[in-house]
Each structure stands twice: as structure tokens, then as C-alpha cells.
Amino acid sequence: MINVSNRLISGGVWIGVLALLNAISTLLFNGLLARILSPEEVGQYFIAMGIAMLVATLSVVGTDNSIVRLISSSLSTKNRYMAKSYLFSSLLFCVFSSFIVMVGSLFLYFNIEKYVSAFSWDSNMILIVGVWAVVLIFRNIFTSIFKGLHELGFASLFSGFVTTFVAIIALFILYYYGDEYGLYDIVIVVIVCALLATIASATVLYRKIKHLYSSYEFRIIELLRLSAPLVFATAGFLVMREVHLWIVGAKVSSLEVAFLGAAIYLVQFITVPLRLTNTLIQPAAAHLYARGKVDRLQVLLRGTGMVIVVFGIAACFLLLAFGEVLLSIVYGEKYTYAVDGLNIIILGQLINVAVGSPGVVLTMAGYEKLVMISSLSAAGIGITTTYILSESMGYLGGAIGFAVTFASYNLLMWIICLVHLKIITHAGQNELLIMLNEMKTKIMNSI
């Protein structure tokens, strides 16, 4: 039986530190970005990054999410043969997906004026974004494999922190020397940093999987059958986050995109406890549900949900009180205009913090279609809100749409968990005390 308390003790501190460092490093990176590029170029960067992430997500057809559950479940039953089969099947499919992305990028590169005449970028940017998407494909699948292997520390390390940290060093050098750099230059620097981090991730992963059973078989058809519903859920999640920037960019301006993006990325401090918890409990949730230990799963969810609420609410009030000051410090004085949008998004995040981690439960329990329905429904509500309001309210319309999107998404999944699975995911004080007592017992036994 998996010892949840032991996992929280051994990995929680390490992952928590990395999650906090990742949030801080992202703000530092965005701050340097805002000082090197004009606000309009910052807005274009946010749009390019969102498109690269969406292409990377759609290309792997949900395998980056399903592989966590498949590997974790296989290892929990000591079936290393199946674990390695799923692992290498996902890697082979990533190679195929990357090939398709590059073919599509090259097609647009040579035919952009004919087929995408309304696109605001030239052909070079299309090709660059395609390369960016390929790097993200491998980064995401390596991170998911680490999660499936219960190597949560490496999953947190390589999910973005290493890339951002190296990119900060590179941008600081560019900023220090004070030359003129444009959007293309910065995007290429970020891609190179992401590639270096992905190579490092692959090296570590190779050392981790050498001990698995030597033989395996490719089970790509089975993997795709299980993963296909997840692509809509994951893509829907990305669309929920990024489409508001795209709509504001299309209907208003890149400057307004920069303000909305600045608010969205500053709010990530509120979601650090939630993202940390989701990373930490994903393999444990898959294992407990596969073994039918629903009571233990609910203790895990409600106990960690209490931690999410305490730290999340504290972060909300901190940003509400000092949001304008933080915007000025991180991005510069002209970005303080984004404070109203920041406050709107913070209020929406309070709901997300309150419901805990229902998405993890539904995904790890195999209810990908319900996650897909929730994400697409919420995306539809949010997109409609942003589309209607952005023309008259500018980036504030996008902020309202963003807040409505994620609040409705998490509420829908919370209701599904409560009604369909009979599992409560929101905070529970008693469950937290149970977990703390287990941790205390584990520590005392180890002394």
C-alpha cells in the first residue's frame, strides 16, 4: 500500500520549494521581458507562447496526461513490462507528433501569404513558434513520465523552472549590455533555453528507466484510445487561459494583451499551493483509486485542500492589498494600469482555491470525458464573456472572462466529484489533522 504521508514528507518540501521558485522565477523573467521589449511586443510574446503551448498540447492527443495514470497504475501492480511499454509508446508518438508539427510549420512558412493572409506575423515567426511547440512536446511528456514514476521532484524541476532560470540569466545578460533586441531575438533565446532543459531532462529520465524490465512492446493504439478524450480537456484548459489574450489582441490591441497577461501571470502566486498539491497527489490519487481506497483518497484530498485554502486566501489578500505596488516592481510603472484586472482575476481565483483538486480526481479515476465536458463548457462561457465585453471594456473584459472561465470550470468539476463519484474535494480540518498525525507518527518512528 502506498504510504501517502511518507510521500508528502519525503517529496513535499522539495516540490514546495521548487513550486515557489518557479513562480518567483516566472515573475523575474516577465519583469526582464517587460524591460527589454515594448508593451506591444510583450503582448505579442504572450500570444506566441500561448499558441506554441496549444499546438504542443493538441499534437500529443492527451498522452502527456494519460501516461501519468497508466505508468503509475502499472507500477502499483508491479507490472514493469506494461509501464515501460506505455512509456516508450508515448515517446514514439511524440516523435511522430513533432514531425507533423514541423511539416505543418513548413507548409505555413512557404504559403502563409496565400493561406493565412490575415495573420499578423510573417513566415519566420510561424516557423519559430513551430520549433517552440516541438520542444514543449518533449518537455511535457518527460515531465509526465517523471510524475508517473513518482519522481515528483524532477517533474517539478523540469516542468518549467530550469528553462525559466536559464532564460533569466540569458535575458539579464541581454538587458545588462543594453543593446536593442526585438521579439524574434527573445523568443529564440527562450527556445534555446527550453531545449537545453529538455536535453537535461531526457538525460535524467534515461538513468531512471534503465532499471525497468528490459523488454516492452509498443501499445500506441491502446494509448491513444485512452488518451483521446484528454486532449480536449487539456486543450480546453489551455484555451480557457490563453484565448482571452487572443481575443483582446484581435479586438483591441497588443498593448491591452500585455496588461491582461501581466495580471494573469502575477496571480499565479495564488495558485502555487494548488499546483503544488496537484503535482504531489497525482500519482497517489491514481494508486488509491485503482485500489478502491476511496476513503483514504478523500482524506488526502480534503487534508491537502485545507492547506490550499489557508495559503491561497493569504496570497489573495496580499495581492489585493499590494497589487499595484507589485505590478510596478515586477513590470514597471506603466503596467500599474492592470491593477483593476488583477483584482478581478484574484476574486475569481478564490473559488478555485475553495474547491480543492477535483480535476486530479476525475483525471486519475479515468473520467476524462467529464473533465472534457467541464473544460469545454467553461471555455464556452468564458470566451463568450470576453468576446462580448472586451470591445467596450478592453483588457478588463478579458479579465472578467478569465475569472468566469476558471471559476465555472472548477465549480463544475467539484459538483461532478460530489454527485457522481461521491467524493468531497474541498477543505476539511479533520482530514488535515489525520494527515498531520500520520506524518508525526512517521517522523517519530524514523527517529
Give the tens place of pLDDT for each residue, 104-144. Answer: 888 877 766 554 444 456 677 888 889 999 999 999 888 88
Can you tell me the distance from the alpha carbon of 390 to that of 375, in angstroms, rounded to the nearest whole number? 21
Can you tell me the distance from the alpha carbon of 143 to that of 94, in angstroms, rounded to the nearest whole number? 13
**Please, what's the b/e burial string for 333-365 (b: 16 or more CB within 10 A of its CB; e: otherwise)?**
eebbbbbebbbbbbebbbbbbbbbbbbbbbbbb
Closest to 242 measured CA to CA, from 381, 379, 392: 379
Neighbours of 323 (CB within 10 A): 22
Helix (H, G, I), strand (E, B) or coil at 298: helix
So where are the chain's domains? 4-446
Q: What is the CA radius of gyration of the chain?
A: 21
**Which is higher by pLDDT, 283 or 149?**
149
**Which is higher by pLDDT, 333 or 213?**
333
Q: Which grid coordinates are listed for 385?
A: 464573456
Mean local confidence (pLDDT), 192-197: 92
Q: H helices within 60-161, ranges in order?
A: 63-76, 80-115, 123-148, 152-156
Q: Which grid coordinates are listed for 224?
A: 491513444
Q: Which grid coordinates are listed for 390?
A: 472586451
Question: Residue 433: its pLDDT value, please?
Answer: 62
Structure pTM? 0.76
Question: Residue 399: its pLDDT value, please?
Answer: 93
Neighbours of 31 (CB within 10 A): 19
Neighbours of 420 (CB within 10 A): 12
Neighbours of 92 (CB within 10 A): 13
What's the full length of the chain, in residues? 447
